């Protein structure tokens, strides 16, 4: 692509991403909060109907710590970026973030930890196979995804709202990192958090991938020493999970399953974290290309392919893989100038806008199969348009800003 054509394409993408992010932010801020002051994204992405009290675990009486933590991080981050472009919207976002921070900080402090699911009385619970709720165990000594997401949100917000407590949240994060590196991370939080749950865990790079985002956040906040684990995590994933022949990331060392969506997310976080002269960049770029080539199928990016054969092993394609691909390929092009990443960026952009983004609301269908949208929840039923979609697009916006100065 010629320089002028590429410059025009980048600016078009930027304009589109800015508009969608602002529309999504306004949509969220216009919605009434849930009881207790929580973000309310309890909407069916197929029908746009709000979930009611009879909708099981999708119902408004259930609070997902995972989603509220991601929402807090997203609100603060979008507000910070929008201060120059849309100051009134940025102010609304910060007001919402301040209230959410107080709620989330109180909830985390009440139990000394963060949990996946809370009932209407703000008690952490898990559900058994019969659908009965049980109080979640304290989980002391175990790290989880929800703890990570809640702490990321609290750290992101504390610098603006609660500086005296920021160091405490960072201390909790370092404890979480130590638990993970000591083999005490429980990925499946829909069960009692105990030694039996830990014994059933299999090694997966997912926790390190997610926490690379925390390393970048800590660095942005000026805490370089606290962010040092990011380098260890990148080395760990590349050394233990990258297949030497295909360059795909295996979910488990020596396994055959590759989740291209998670792999692309990892490479995006890694490329955003390392310095411009980092010697691992060629390997990161090679892995990202391999996962993009293996991942694009049907309406989007697959979440399960065979490392040996390349066959698609799971017939569902969640929305989040495409914004993550946009961010990762944008960063990869910035690092390399390789136009193959522009082509994958274009493919991800086209697939997201044509196959996932609704025309009547600034949100995406949560999931699709080969033929169309399906009512299948990828992780939690609560939508999070400002995190997986919004923060990914914001990452690409920042790349365009740097490339077109």
Average pLDDT, the chain: 96
Grouping H, G, I as helix, E, B as strand and the rest as coil, residue 371 is coil
Please name the fold of domain 1-51+242-405: Glycosyltransferase (1.50.10)
- pLDDT value at residue 4: 78
Mean pLDDT of 324-337: 98
pLDDT band at 3 (very low <50, low <70, confident <90, very high): low
Residue 279 confidence (pLDDT): 98
Q: Is 1's pLDDT higher than 80?
A: no
SS3 category, 306: strand
| Inter-CA distances, 230 with 210, 224, 243, 248, 358, Å | 10, 10, 21, 20, 36
Question: What pLDDT shows up at residue 140?
Answer: 80
Mean pLDDT, residues 261-287: 98
- Checking if the pLDDT of 313 tops 90, the result is yes
Question: At 297, phi and psi to the nearest 5?
Answer: -150, 150
pLDDT at 405: 84
**Angle ∠(21,27,29) on CA atoms, nearest 5:** 100
Element (H, E) at 293: helix 281-295
Q: How far, in Å, are 9, 57, 104, 164, 378 from residue 63 at the CA level?
A: 40, 9, 11, 27, 17
Q: What is the pLDDT of residue 352?
A: 98
62-87 confidence digits (pLDDT tens): 999 999 999 999 999 999 999 999 99
Let me know if 3 is exposed, middle or buried by CB neighbors in 10 A (0-12, 13-18, 19+). Answer: exposed
Q: Is pLDDT of 10 > 70?
A: yes
Given a cut of 70, whether residue 274 has pLDDT beyond it is yes
Residue pair 263/283 in contact (Cβ under 8 Å)? The answer is no
| Residues carrying CATH 1.50.10.10, the chain | 1-51+242-405
Other C-beta atoms closer than 10 Å to the C-beta of 308 total: 12
- Write out the DSSP string of 228-273: GHHHHHHHHHHHHHB-TTT-PBPSSTT-SEE-HHHHHHHHHHHHHH
CA distance 231 to 297: 32
H-assigned helices in 112-162: 145-161
Residue pair 300/353 in contact by the 8 Å Cβ criterion: no
Average pLDDT of the residues in 239-263: 97
Q: What tokens were used for 25?
A: 């932010």
pLDDT value for 237:
98
Residues in Cβ contact with 96 at an 8 Å cutoff, skipping those fewer than 6 apart: 28, 29, 39, 75
Distant-in-sequence, close-in-space partners of 99: CB < 8 Å, separation ≥ 6: 33, 37
Q: What is the pTM of this model?
A: 0.97
Which secondary-structure segment (H or E) carries 64? strand 63-64
Res. 182: pLDDT tops 90: yes
Tell me what pLDDT residue 297 has: 97
Question: How many other CB atoms sit within 10 Å of the CB of residue 182?
Answer: 10
Non-local (6+) Cβ contacts of 344 within 8 A are: 289, 292, 296, 325, 329
**How high is the pLDDT of residue 403?**
96
Backbone angles phi, psi at 186, to 5 degrees: -105, 115
Asked if pLDDT for residue 30 goes beyond 90, the answer is yes
Summarize the confidence of residues 341-345 as an average pLDDT.
Answer: 98
pLDDT at 383 over 80: yes
DSSP state letters, 162-205? -HHHHHHHHHHHHHHHHHHHTT-B----SS--SHHHHHT----S
Distance CA 70, CA 119 (A): 19
């Amino acid at each position: 692509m010629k320089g002028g054509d590429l410059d025009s394409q980048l600016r078009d993408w930027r304009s589109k991403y800015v508009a969608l992010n602002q529309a999504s932010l306004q949509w969220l801020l216009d919605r009434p909060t849930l009881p207790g002051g929580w973000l309310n994204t309890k909407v069916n992405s197929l029908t746009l109907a709000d979930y009611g009290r009879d909708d099981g675990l999708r119902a408004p009486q259930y609070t997902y710590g995972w989603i509220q933590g991601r929402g807090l991080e997203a609100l603060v981050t979008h507000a910070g970026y929008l201060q120059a472009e849309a100051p009134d919207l940025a102010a609304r976002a910060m007001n919402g973030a301040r209230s959410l921070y107080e709620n989330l900080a109180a909830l985390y402090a009440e139990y000394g930890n963060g949990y996946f699911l809370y009932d209407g009385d703000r008690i952490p619970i898990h559900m058994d196979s019969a659908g009965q709720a049980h109080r979640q165990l304290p989980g002391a000594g175990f790290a989880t995804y929800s703890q990570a997401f809640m702490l990321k949100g609290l750290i992101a917000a504390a610098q603006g709202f609660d500086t005296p407590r920021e160091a405490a949240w960072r201390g909790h994060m370092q404890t979480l990192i130590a638990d993970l590196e000591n083999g005490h991370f429980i990925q499946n939080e829909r069960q009692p958090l105990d030694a039996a749950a830990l014994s059933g865990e299999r090694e997966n790079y997912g926790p390190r991938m997610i926490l690379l985002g925390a390393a970048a956040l800590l660095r942005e906040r000026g805490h370089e020493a606290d962010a040092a684990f990011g380098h260890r995590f990148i080395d760990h994933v590349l050394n233990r999970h990258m297949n030497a022949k295909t360059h795909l990331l295996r979910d488990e060392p020596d396994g055959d399953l590759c989740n291209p969506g998670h792999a692309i997310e990892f490479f995006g976080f890694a490329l955003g974290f390392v310095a411009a002269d980092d010697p691992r960049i060629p390997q990161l770029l090679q892995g990202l290309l391999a996962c993009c080539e293996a991942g694009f199928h049907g309406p989007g990016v697959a979440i399960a392919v065979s490392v040996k054969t390349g066959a698609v092993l799971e017939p569902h394609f969640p929305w989040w893989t495409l914004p993550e691909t946009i961010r990762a390929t944008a960063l990869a092009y910035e690092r390399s100038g390789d136009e193959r990443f522009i082509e994958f960026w274009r493919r991800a952009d086209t697939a997201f806008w044509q196959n996932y983004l609704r025309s009547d609301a600034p949100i995406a269908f949560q999931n699709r199969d080969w033929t169309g949208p399906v009512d299948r929840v990828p992780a939690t039923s609560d939508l999070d348009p400002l995190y997986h979609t919004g923060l990914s697009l914001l990452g690409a916006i920042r790349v365009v800003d740097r490339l077109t100065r």
